Structure 1
Amino acid sequence: MTEELLDRIAADTEINAVVEVRREHALAAADRADAAQEPRGPWHGVPVTVKECFDVAGMRTTWGNPAFAHHIANEDAVIVQRLERAGAHIVGKTNVHMMLGDFGQTVNEVYGRTNNPADVTRTPGGSSGGAAAALAAGLTYLEYGSDLVGSVRLPAAYCGVYGLKPTNGLVPQRGFQVPGTPYVPSELPTLSTIGPLARSAADLRIALRATAGPEAPYAYELAAPRHKELKDYRVGIVTDHPAASVTSEVGDALSDTIDRIAAAGVKIVDSWPDGVDPDEQAAEFGRQVELFFALHGGEPTTMTVDQLLTTERNRLAARARWQQHFEDVDVFLCPTSFTVAFPHGSTAIDGRPYEAQAFWIVHASLTGHPALSMPIGHTSTGLPTAAQVIGQWHEDDTAITFAELLSQHLGSR
């Protein structure tokens, strides 16, 4: 299996998703897996890849920046350690946008541009575009990416795979730092999370179980899903909003999905949570991103102390409103993006601003709730369509299980 995967990666001339491999290391790991008397873990012997920005000892970590083109990591990131503890072996790394600086594209001067397997003239999204494209093209079996402004969920949507932004803080981030920057744990809100991408919701669950929990002691159990049958779920929905009005392709796929789950007995609650102003929440997230970059060495914030306190109160108030909403619904279903994958280099998309891609993903990013993107169909030209499933704080497996049941239901046609 490892040899076949490495051969597929080597033969790829169009996608440019897997940008570095360690063939001999991977084959030696596969030999050890074959020789083992007992499975090492749930990913025993499975060859996987990780986003280029995660440290893997002996491999380059460049963040797509020529200034770091020769930087070699000397130890593994925590998620790499945990994936290998679960039996997986890291065969390579996938492309990123330069310094992870774009949620809609994946291109840099070190590795070049990654293309969407569904249509190579279109973007795979960013900044985990290489991760999603590799999965969609059959060049890996599991991926791990990072998500601040949708950098797991948007590529997953555009490439037609599954991508999870876990509850904020659930997966340790040691080994996910710009080269030369020390890892400094922080009690301040980070906004940025790291999470798995996969070809099924079930694989998201297995990956999260293997990687979630504090660094020490290493022990964590996901909360059980609220329900095990689709008909028992209460689903909040919003399918459109003027700030990022969905295209007909996305809207039709969402409407069809909602009609089908309603027919299956799912209770539908059609509204935003009480007290949530989605436009103000999107603006608040923008202020939080400003603070995030100031905290991590970017431009200093110009906010006053009073403004900082107001921003933080607003973030916590938004979380509280969503928390209350999940007393009445089990999950919340909405678009991942207003559009399907768009042509490379686009600055406006179907008459909408480029930045509108972020509107639907910022709500879970602001509040820290788990959210995943899942495929729900294809356009007439074969491009994937997607929906986003948001769950209650630390109830990641409820969102995953709903996506798993929904995919089974949609596949029953």
Structure 2
Amino acid sequence: MTPSDISRAPAHTQLQALAARTVSSRELLDLHLDRIAGSPLNAVIALDPEAARAAAHAADQRRANGRAGGPLDGLPMTVKDSFETQGLRTTSGSPDLRDHLPQRDADAVARLRSAGAIIMGKTNLPAYCQDLHTDNALFGATRNPHHPERTAGGSSGGAAAAVAAHLTPLELGSDLAGSLRLPAHYCGVHALRPTHGIVPSRGHIPRPPGWLTSSDMLTPGPLARHPRDLRIALDVLAGPAEADAVAWRLELPAPAHERIADHRIGIWSDDAHCPVDTATRTLVEDLAQRLRDAGARIDTDDRPVDLPASDALFQRLLHATAAGSAEDDAFRRDCAQAAQLPPQDASPRAQFLRLRTQRHRDWLRANEDRARMQEGWAAYFRRHDALITPAAPTAAIGQGARSLTVDGRERGFFDQTGWLNLAGHMGLPAAVVPLGTDPDGLPLAVQIIGPRLADRTVLDLAERIGGS
């Protein structure tokens, strides 16, 4: 393989080439920087070539001296612009932060650097991660690499597009309401939302710069072109917070089984609450048959939760946690408007205001409901090793569209994440695995959800069904 060929390979292949000194870190970096410069996607919106080249040179020197660093040593990569990067502008897509130059890396970014990764730039997102399209007033829209008029998704849309277009071999994104997994589905790449709490989120915006706490639903996670790369990234990113590391260790269990034939897999291919189109349903059902043919025990009837009930709880918790970083004046206005709502007003705006301004007691009740729902999931996973669902109802919708069409019927905009939200508020590990295309040639993926802390089982299944 030529260096150019290597730079288009998955991250694990690039790391093998670096270790064998088939290619240098500086060569890999320059190939990626050239590709970024020529890309029409608007996926990478900030670069620091000088610092990246210095870091790549240092990695090459370490390797030449026989003392290579961590598991990502010399690998160039990008990170979503919601993660603070020391000395590299971090805007979270907002004009309010156009001049924000962090003095400290986000914790997840620091772990990547400690493992030897070369942070060469930042990827685009909607302002403060708050849309399912990637577009903002600072940098404009990111285009889907498979079709320029389709969305790349959001909020990690620049991240997914950059990985798909070979602008970066590995990316750090974030996921609260499908922000990592929806763009991966739309752009045809792999993504992992790890078990909540095992990857630190300090330094992630929209929590304001300087905050030490983050949302109780946000989880940083990797995107890549191969599921094996997600495993490599997880090994780097996961671990106890610095204050806990003096006493606690994280030792994720090995995959549940060594053979597909030993797996008990639930399949949930469609639901009236969030219907999917024919191509998506067929993709999931074909996978179920493939797994059945391989000897796995497939269950299409058992359900861990009721989808409408799970979605309603997700909304209660989502709007509560999102209010944490609201400006004081804006939140006071929301409270005043909520207090004036007629009891019979059930409009989306009224529901939003009530949930956003709910009392702490109401959130405590919602959190108790979450714990009970988590118990239901735990019981389900005593009967099954994993659950496979659609990633989204359709392939990528039009850029800027505010609804989607499922087999000719218009559905609400937020149905895009109806399936992804199953895992979000439960804190469960979930991977998106691209498996095919729709009739227009756009990527289609499935979602694999596993038990809490069974991230390795999820990734093992992802590689078995989607690795190549």
Provide the TM-score with structure 1 as the length reference: 0.94
Q: Which 4+ stretches in 1 moved above 6 angstroms?
A: none
- The aligned residue for residue 56 of structure 1 is 85
- The aligned residue for residue 429 of structure 2 is 370
- The aligned residue for residue 4 of structure 1 is 31
SS of the counterpart of 1:122?
Answer: strand
SS of the counterpart of 1:243?
Answer: coil
Deviation at 1:239, TM superposition (A): 0.3
The 5 Å alignment of 1:344-363 reads 344-350=399-405, 351-363=410-422
The 5 Å alignment of 1:77-88 reads 77-88=106-117
The 5 Å alignment of 1:3-82 reads 3-12=30-39, 14-36=40-62, 37-82=66-111
Does residue 260 of the first structure (1) align with residue 315 of the second (2)?
no
Is the Cα contact below 8 Å between 1:61 and 1:179 reproduced in 2?
no
Taking the aligned partners of 1:324 and 1:179, their CA distance within structure 2 comes to 34
- The aligned residue for residue 286 of structure 1 is 315
- The aligned residue for residue 328 of structure 1 is 383
Is the Cα contact below 8 Å between 2:189 and 2:433 reproduced in 1?
yes
The 5 Å alignment of 1:152-191 reads 152-178=180-206, 180-185=208-213, 190-191=216-217
Moved more, 312-321 or 248-257: 248-257
The 5 Å alignment of 1:203-352 reads 203-216=229-242, 217=245, 219-273=249-303, 276-297=305-326, 299=331, 301-304=356-359, 306-350=361-405, 351-352=410-411
Moved more, 45-54 or 339-348: 339-348
Taking the aligned partners of 1:406 and 1:273, their CA distance within structure 2 comes to 22
Is the Cα contact below 8 Å between 1:209 and 1:221 reproduced in 2?
no
Taking the aligned partners of 2:360 and 2:317, their CA distance within structure 1 comes to 14
Is the Cα contact below 8 Å between 2:129 and 2:206 reproduced in 1?
no
Taking the aligned partners of 1:107 and 1:241, their CA distance within structure 2 comes to 30
Is the Cα contact below 8 Å between 1:273 and 1:322 reproduced in 2?
no
Q: Deviations over 1:153-191 (max 9, x none)?
A: 0000000111111111111112113485432337xx701
Deviation at 1:306, TM superposition (A): 4.8
Taking the aligned partners of 1:309 and 1:25, their CA distance within structure 2 comes to 46
SS of the counterpart of 1:251?
Answer: helix
Residue from 112, 126, 144 that aligns with 1:97: 126
Letter in 2 for 1:84: R
Does residue 142 of the first structure (1) align with residue 170 of the second (2)?
yes
Taking the aligned partners of 2:465 and 2:33, their CA distance within structure 1 comes to 33
Does residue 129 of the first structure (1) align with residue 157 of the second (2)?
yes
- The aligned residue for residue 448 of structure 2 is 389
Is the Cα contact below 8 Å between 1:209 and 1:222 reproduced in 2?
no
Taking the aligned partners of 1:63 and 1:242, their CA distance within structure 2 comes to 35
Q: Deviations over 1:91-123 (max 9, x none)?
A: 000001111111x21000111100000111100
**Structure number, greater radius of gyration:** 2
**Contiguous gaps of at least 5 residues in structure 2:** 1-27, 336-355
Moved more, 197-206 or 169-178: 169-178
Does residue 118 of the first structure (1) align with residue 146 of the second (2)?
yes
Closer, same or farther: CA 178–295 of 1 in aligned 2, 3 Å = closer
SS of the counterpart of 1:310?
Answer: helix
Moved more, 42-51 or 25-34: 25-34
Moved more, 213-222 or 90-99: 213-222
Taking the aligned partners of 2:360 and 2:144, their CA distance within structure 1 comes to 44
Q: Deviations over 1:56-112 (max 9, x none)?
A: 11111111111111111111111111111111110000001111111x210001111
Letter in 1 for 2:393: F
SS of the counterpart of 2:382?
Answer: coil
Moved more, 376-385 or 389-398: 376-385
Q: Deviations over 1:177-218 (max 9, x none)?
A: 3485432337xx701111111111111111011011122228
- The aligned residue for residue 134 of structure 2 is 106
Deviation at 1:224, TM superposition (A): 1.0
Letter in 1 for 2:451: Q
SS of the counterpart of 1:31?
Answer: helix
SS of the counterpart of 2:83?
Answer: coil
SS of the counterpart of 2:434?
Answer: strand
Deviation at 1:54, TM superposition (A): 0.5
Is the Cα contact below 8 Å between 1:253 and 1:377 reproduced in 2?
yes
**Superposition RMSD in Å:** 1.6
Is the Cα contact below 8 Å between 2:263 and 2:385 reproduced in 1?
yes
- The aligned residue for residue 4 of structure 2 is none
Q: Deviations over 1:376-406 (max 9, x none)?
A: 1122332110000001001111101111111
- The aligned residue for residue 460 of structure 2 is 401
Closer, same or farther: CA 262–360 of 1 in aligned 2, 3 Å = same
Provide the TM-score with structure 2 as the length reference: 0.83
Deviation at 1:250, TM superposition (A): 1.1
Taking the aligned partners of 1:98 and 1:343, their CA distance within structure 2 comes to 19
Taking the aligned partners of 2:250 and 2:148, their CA distance within structure 1 comes to 40
Q: Deviations over 1:25-59 (max 9, x none)?
A: 11121111111122212211110100001111111
Is the Cα contact below 8 Å between 2:181 and 2:391 reproduced in 1?
yes
- % of aligned pairs identical? 39
Taking the aligned partners of 1:272 and 1:15, their CA distance within structure 2 comes to 42
Taking the aligned partners of 1:328 and 1:40, their CA distance within structure 2 comes to 42
Taking the aligned partners of 1:396 and 1:197, their CA distance within structure 2 comes to 15
